[in-house]
Homo-oligomer: A and B are copies of this chain.
Amino acid sequence: MNYEGKRVIVTGGLGFIGSNLVLRLVELGARVTVVDSCVQGCGANPYNIASVADRVEVVKADIGEPDCIAEVLRGVPVVFNLAGEISHIHSMQYPERDLEINTLAQMRFLEACIRLSPGARVVYSGTRQVYGAPQYLPVDELHPVNPIDFNGVHKYAATMYHLMFSRSGDLDAVVLRLTNVYGPRMAMDVPCQGFLSTYIRRTVTGGRLQVFGDGRQLRDPVYVDDVVDALLLAGNEPKLVSREYNVGGPQALPLSEIADICTHTGGMAPPEQREFPPERKQIDIGSYYTDSGRIERELGWTPKVRFADGMAQTVAYYREHMGHYLKPGEPNPECKLGPGTYRLMPA
């Protein structure tokens, strides 16, 4: 990989996937600038990159206010654009907040990239959420887009911005659509970021795991190191064949088995089966797993880490570092976003 000495920006670089990418980029000798707004609820944690803090430039700034980062954006050849809100639940509670973070901010950021780094490779972390409830399995890139929550709509709007600017030649953007990602450095104090962070938290802190519904819904969790590989390949390939790549895990597992692997890893009581809470049922999509054939064929990527192995590494990480992710006495944090409405206003 050709990252030695290369200037690279990672938006959302204090977050889960971003920080794992930053660690690897530093190893590869890249000159990394992290841009992170540290917005509440999006998972930023300076501890994530503490081990390389002296080798990385960190700018606390919102990509929706790109004037503040004009100097770092100027002339940068590769941007890993991972900033955003990933919580489907937050997006349904505060849709205008989600529109601001995931769509408006991306619009402003990409316009700044065009101005300051025309033609830059921009690798955007999209989501399988845009496909909604699968019409067929496994889900490839030709599957219709049918998001069932605001987060999916707004992330897809940002996806369309990226693709539009690739088509016009203003940027050299590529979108990865990630399935459920897990691993070290996930936020543990944000309860609305998907079931895997809850499973991991409870596996480490000792709570009981719950499976909603009959537990037969399939998922294909992908370990964060594998995702970092995919991002690096997408940022490195000189001439991309495609602009959208699905990125999934190596196994399609029933939720009940995923839960069993977690409890086995943690040496704890078996999971409890429960009815779907209504607000989760509404945004449930049944079974999902990814056809990653395109990125395998075109970029040579395959997921390497099986779920039991990735989970063992994840649990080992949090057993050592949980104090940096969860304050004592907060074993089951509630949603941290403040109450009330959030409104975007015309200037």
Contacts and interface: CB of A to CB of B under 8 A. Distances in A.
Given A156-B160, A344-B347, 16 more contacts: A95-B111, A96-B104, A103-B157, A107-B150, A142-B144, A146-B160, A146-B163, A148-B164, A148-B168, A149-B164, A153-B157, A153-B160, A342-B347, A343-B347, A345-B346, A345-B347
Nearest to A97: B346
A229 interface: no
B164 A153 contact: yes
Contacts of A343: 347
A345 B164 CA distance: 24
Contacts of A152: 160
Q: Chain B CB within 10 Å — which of A95, A104, A144, A145 has the most?
A: A104
A249 interface: no
Interface in A87-115: 95-96, 99-100, 103-104, 107, 111
25 contacts: A99-B103, A99-B104, A100-B346, A103-B103, A104-B344, A107-B150, A145-B160, A146-B163, A146-B167, A147-B160, A147-B164, A148-B164, A148-B167, A148-B168, A149-B164, A150-B164, A153-B157, A153-B160, A153-B164, A342-B347, A344-B344, A344-B346, A344-B347, A345-B345, A345-B347
A282 interface: yes
